[in-house]
Amino acid sequence: MSKQYNYNQHMNIKYNHLEVIDVPQIVEENKEKWFNQTLTKINDSVARIGIVEGDYHWHKHDDDDEFFFVLSGKLYIDIEGRTIELNPNQGVTIPKGVMHRPRALEKTVMLMVETSSIDPIGNLS
Q: Is residue 3 part of a domain?
A: no
Strand pairing category for 8-10 and 66-72: unpaired
Query: Mind listing the pLDDT tens digit for each residue in 22-71?
Result: 999 999 999 998 999 999 999 999 999 999 999 999 999 999 999 999 99
pLDDT at 3 over 60: no
Q: Is residue 122 part of a domain?
A: no
Q: What pLDDT was estimated at residue 1?
A: 32
Report helix, strand or coil for 26: helix
Q: 26: domain range? A: 8-115
Domain count within the chain: 1
pLDDT at 91 over 50: yes
Q: Is residue 92 part of a domain?
A: yes
Q: Is residue 83 part of a domain?
A: yes
Q: Kindly state the average pLDDT of the residues 101-107.
A: 97
CATH number of the domain enclosing 32 = 2.60.120.10
Nearest to 97 by CA among 120, 55, 58, 64: 64
Q: Is residue 71 part of a domain?
A: yes
Confidence of residue 14 (pLDDT cuts 50, 70, 90): very high
Q: What pLDDT was estimated at residue 2?
A: 43
Nearest to 74 by CA among 31, 26, 106: 106
How much is the pTM?
0.91
- Cα(88)–Cα(74) distance, integer angstroms: 7
pLDDT at 6 over 80: no
- AA identity, residue 15: Y
Query: CA–CA distance from 16 to each of 38, 48, 88 (Å)?
Result: 11, 13, 26
Q: Is residue 1 part of a domain?
A: no
